[in-house]
Structure 1
Amino acid sequence: MKKICVVGSLNMDLVVTVDRFPRPGETIIGREFTTYPGGKGGNQAVALGRLGADVLMVGKLGDDIFGEQYIKNLKENGVYVDGVRVEKGISSGIAVIEVDNTGENNIVIVAGANGRVDRAFIDENWPLMEERDIFLFQLEIPLDTVLYTVEKLKKAGKIIILDPAPARVLPDEILLNVDYITPNETEIEIITGMKIENDEDLHRACNWLISKGVKNVIAKVGKRGAYLATHDSFAHVPGFSVKAVDTTAAGDSFNAGFVFALAQGKGIIESIQFANAVGAISTTAKGAQSAMPTLEQVKAFMDEQMC
């Protein structure tokens, strides 16, 4: 199996449930408070670890209690943490989330140590990273760092997967170095500036990304599965029907499933099928990382679905 590296964000989610949101200046009593490890980088690394991948995390945490908790969580889920640094004098990345009794939420994100994942940090970890084969990125660390790292990795002959979230317009220099990009429909609209209303629109948007140098576009379309676009093809890979309970981090689970299968030497279509299964299973339980499946669960699910 090829070795994987996730370069990205590590957040602690602080979730408060309330009957209603407070008005400005008002203090109210909340119902429940919970902390969950999160951040797209951490989510994807944990999902890979739970599947049994050989995965290294590269990112930063703050010198607070959340940093200690997160490193412990990564280790418990089979993720190598030699590339994770605790940054002195700054908090870990956090998301403060209020959820009311209708399910609506308010979210405030503080980048914290994620904002200090810079070029120098990549250079410090380069000896570890050079030993890896497949690299998975998101966009919750500085864009300059993503650009610098993908260019350096491409020169070293590595495989690069980009989950372009949170979505933004991307410089051509990043797209030119990406082997696989995995946007959902909203993200591809933001990146390309094209409105997606049907499959023909999606195909045109995928072709735009291909024209920028991306080798393969894997467009996620929710419960319908995903589309694979290359220079000369556009194919639908159907999803799996499940009773969804919580779609949090389904996209992160999908990306982890795709990278895991790719690392095992599976073909692209087969890897997308596996990713669809991992993403679907992750929606059948509450939580993000806690709902991510093991390899045994995915195999059992696919065997049942394929009957």
Structure 2
Amino acid sequence: MCITVVGSINTDIVALTDDYPLRGETIFGKKIEFLPGGKGGNQATAVAKLGEKVNIIGSVGQDLYGDNVINTLKKNNVTTKFIKRSNEFATGTAIITIDQTAENTMLVLKGANDDLLPADIENAFFKLQESKVLLVQMEVPQETVIRAMQIAKEKGMYIILDPAPAEGITMKALEYADVITPNRQETKHMIGIEVNDIESALHAARTFEKMGVKNSIIKMAEKGSLVYQSGQWEYVKAIPVKPVDTVGAGDAFAGALACGIATGKDLVSAVEYATIVGALKVTKLGAQTGIPTLDEVNKFCEEKNISQTKLEKSR
């Protein structure tokens, strides 16, 4: 059983500070880290750390940063043979600032991610062995994402669209997705609905349904998630934790959701699992280094007395 992730691979330059500088202002920060990142890389790492087989299709530069991120993915048991080495662009970079509340701002330089082309997707899928779930986001070219979803649909794969970041969203991708997972910002960007409670999340889900998306997970951060399936809905509460770094929390959630679907969980149970993994992620620094392993998830559930069946690797 395998999951395929199509998406971005970056180096994250993370600066920790008590407060954000005002425009034109210079302040002193606390710490800087150079960490592996990118939504595709983060989500593939989450899948691998949670014990499932995963391929990543992405693009990095012919540079040291590209070498480093590939080596890190390999160490985390992600299959990297479908990563393209671009001759034209440097490895993508995200410049991230995290303040004392653990909230973040990002400036993403896409670099080699823009060199992941539909032809690269076709070549990779031709060589791919059986894969049950496709997980995509919007940090690589839109036509590349669409082509991946089209081929996955032809192969009968379950397609999860994480429509992030908001700036990269293409509404055309909605027609190929089996489920979408927008957060509050992405929901507002796509359909103009401000989500702040269950009622507004339900309104957003029903609006997506009118657009042809029968299944959606409306994420509301500390307010939990609304899971909508063909007219039926359930609310999944957030798990309170002390946040350290929210970067990559949505990616950890997406990777865990893909694992849940691939191993036969129903959508609500998969979201409950993803909620646990996402909560654990924000307690640690680093979009990939902070993602918990399967053993850490099980231990957390036992310590917090969370009603979650002990999980086992499917392989």
Shared topology, TM-score over 0.5?
yes
Residue 74 of structure 1 pairs with residue 73 of structure 2: yes
Name the structure 1 match of 2:163.
164
Structure 1 unaligned regions, length at least 5: none
Instruction: Give 1:40 deviation, angstroms.
Output: 0.8
Instruction: Give the distance between the partners of 2:3 and 2:295, measured in 1 at CA.
Output: 20
Residue 8 of structure 1 pairs with residue 12 of structure 2: no
Instruction: Give 1:128 deviation, angstroms.
Output: 3.2
Please say if residues 198 and 226 of structure 2, whose CA atoms lie closer than 8 Å, have aligned partners that are also in contact.
no
Instruction: Give the distance between the partners of 1:236 and 1:116, measured in 2 at CA.
Output: 39
Instruction: Give the distance between the partners of 1:100 and 1:261, measured in 2 at CA.
Output: 32
Distance 1:104 1:238, change over 3 A: closer
Instruction: Give the distance between the partners of 2:105 and 2:172, measured in 1 at CA.
Output: 34
Please say if residues 91 and 112 of structure 1, whose CA atoms lie closer than 8 Å, have aligned partners that are also in contact.
yes
Structure 2 unaligned regions, length at least 5: 308-315
Instruction: Give the distance between the partners of 1:22 and 1:223, measured in 2 at CA.
Output: 27
Name the structure 2 match of 1:255.
254
Name the structure 2 match of 1:295.
294
Deviation by residue 1:75-94 (Cα, 9 ceiling, x = unmatched):
00110001111111320001
Deviation by residue 1:37-93 (Cα, 9 ceiling, x = unmatched):
111111111111111110001000000100000110000011000111111132000
Residue 265 of structure 1 pairs with residue 280 of structure 2: no
CA RMSD of aligned residues (A): 2.6
Please say if residues 7 and 139 of structure 2, whose CA atoms lie closer than 8 Å, have aligned partners that are also in contact.
yes
Name the structure 2 match of 1:109.
108
Deviation by residue 1:165-193 (Cα, 9 ceiling, x = unmatched):
10158555321210011111221111112
Instruction: Give the distance between the partners of 2:22 and 2:306, measured in 1 at CA.
Output: 49
The answer to which of 145-154 and 51-60 deviates more is 145-154
Instruction: Give the distance between the partners of 1:199 and 1:106, measured in 2 at CA.
Output: 26
Name the structure 1 match of 2:127.
128
What is the number of equivalent residue pairs in this alignment?
A: 305
Q: SS where residue 86 of structure 1 aligns? A: strand
Instruction: Give the distance between the partners of 2:246 and 2:145, measured in 1 at CA.
Output: 27
Instruction: Give the distance between the partners of 2:205 and 2:23, measured in 1 at CA.
Output: 43
Deviation by residue 1:21-42 (Cα, 9 ceiling, x = unmatched):
5986x99987644211111111
TM-score, with length taken from structure 1: 0.90
- Quick one: percent identity of the two aligned structures? 35
Instruction: Give the distance between the partners of 2:160 and 2:268, measured in 1 at CA.
Output: 15
TM-score, with length taken from structure 2: 0.88
Please say if residues 137 and 164 of structure 2, whose CA atoms lie closer than 8 Å, have aligned partners that are also in contact.
yes
Name the aligned partner's letter for residue 306 of structure 2: M
Name the structure 1 match of 2:214.
215
Distance 1:102 1:260, change over 3 A: closer
